[in-house]
Amino acid sequence: MTPEERFDALIGEDLKIEPRDPMPDAYRATMIRQIAQHAHSEVIGMQPEGNWITRAPSLKRKAILIAKVQDEAGHGLYLYSAAETLGVSRAELVDLLHEGRQKYSSIFNYPTLTWADIGAIGWLVDGAAITNQVMLTRTSYGPYSRAMIRICKEESFHQRQGYEIMRVLSEGTDAQRAMAQDALDRWWWPSLMMFGPPDAESTHTVQSMAWKIKLETNDQLRQRFIDATVPQAEYLGLKVPDPDLAWNTETGHYDVGPIDWDEFWSVVKGDGPCNKERSAHKVGVWEEHAWVREAAAAHAAKARTAAASA
Amino acid sequence: MSYDVPRTDDEVDPTLAGTEGSPLWEVFIRADRGLNHVHVGSLHAPDAATALHHARDVYTRRKEGVSIWVVPSSAITATDPHDATDWFGSEHPYRHPTFYEIPEEVGHM
């Protein structure tokens, strides 16, 4: 059996591809790109939420938010670890992010203006991420699939704590209720955009599905998220900001109005509200704390020398 | 389409590379007393003691373990998936209990 036939046979039988298996260059490149961008998203995603740690409304909420942000750091590390099994180093990937040559999810280029945004991010942004990530637990590349299983277990807490924040606000004063509605108004459409362009315009979907990297299309996943989320908004007594939203008895799904894909592409290309701030902060912190990495390496080298001469 | 691992001459083996003085470690966790340590992933750390601390922070935030091993990734010798058939392919059905027929009258064995 040639390496090509072996790879195709494994994919055909729904078996996982593992790090040292032969794989097409394009499969390897696609996996590196996808896992790296996923890892970068987890890491950059700490910024909008970290913004509210010092101003969380109670010690309980602060402890929860710290734990959540720490999880995001962990998720980034699981994913870099998975990417490294493909023969690329984490340092290279981090450099690509810092140089702007690899992207992260555009959702993190929106600002967190109020405490309700922390609720909306958990409920909607993590909710959308989970919809995608549950599919990815079955992706064809073993290390990515395993990272997704671990991440999905932890993300469930993220979404539930976000929904709880929204519930408490929506049961609160008029001002709190307005704050929750405003957060939903601002995060609803960007959350729907997280699934990527419509299937007709998605350049990677066909090949990714042939390789079983993706098992469902952007539009299928987006619809699943909408169908699950609209009733959750209704429970809160909040209004989804879409005048065309309607239950379609024929399809058994919600119909939604048009998504502003010009906005999506504008944010992807760097013109979102916070693109520059997010990148500058990431690079700044990396450089500012270079001394920590250098000191740890120097300490380890010194300890090795001492052990060798002892 | 090439199926070779793309690696140039001047590129170091990423599993051996010290990225900025911080080599790769494989992490194994014992979930509870009585169970084996199981591989959970990898991480970068300058030395073994730091690797253990990082492993606790990255892989056991929810009491996933009672014991951690960290092993330099470069210390692991692995079988080659290309040779998997040679290594694991031979069938020995007579090593399994279901190979043998026991009359029903004899009962459970």
The pTM of this model reads 0.91
Q: Could you tell me the residue ranges of all domains in chain B?
A: 24-78
Chain B residues close to A89, C-beta within 8 Å: 14, 17, 19
Chain A residue nearest residue B25, CA to CA? A81
Tell me, what's the ipTM?
0.86
Q: Report the distance separating Cα A225 and Cα B61, nearest Å.
A: 28
B52 interface with A at CB cutoff 8 Å: no
In chain A, the N- to C-terminal Cα span, in Å, equals 53
Which residues, 6 or more positions from A308, have their beta carbon under 8 angstroms from its beta carbon? none
* Residue in B4, B61, B81 nearest the CB of A74: B61
Cβ distance of A299 and B81 shorter than 8 Å:
no
* Residue in B3, B17, B47 nearest the CB of A23: B3
The pLDDT value given to residue A147: 96
| Structure tokens, B38 | 């199981």
Q: How close does chain B come to A288, measured CA to CA in Å?
A: 16
| Structure tokens, A142 | 């073993």
The pLDDT value given to residue A220: 97
The pLDDT value given to residue B14: 41
Chain B residue nearest residue A80, CA to CA? B43
CATH 3.40.718.10 fits B24-78, yes or no: no
- Binned at pLDDT 50, 70 and 90, residue B13 comes out as very low
Residue B44, CB-side half-sphere exposure with 13 Å CA sphere: 23
Chain B residues close to A146, C-beta within 8 Å: 41
Chain A residues close to B81, C-beta within 8 Å: 18, 20-22
Q: Report the distance separating Cα A307 and Cα B35, nearest Å.
A: 33
Q: How close does chain A come to B107, measured CA to CA in Å?
A: 38
Q: How close does chain A come to B92, measured CA to CA in Å?
A: 23
Q: Please write the tens of the pLDDT for every residue from B29-65.
A: 999 999 999 999 999 999 999 999 999 999 999 999 9
Grouped pLDDT means (10 residues each) for chain A, 310 residues: 90 94 94 96 98 97 97 96 94 94 95 98 97 97 97 94 98 98 98 95 88 96 98 98 98 97 95 96 96 91 88
Alpha helices in chain A (DSSP H): 3-12, 25-44, 46-50, 59-84, 90-98, 116-120, 126-136, 142-170, 174-193, 205-210, 218-236, 261-266, 275-288, 290-309
The pLDDT value given to residue B89: 77
The pLDDT value given to residue A39: 97
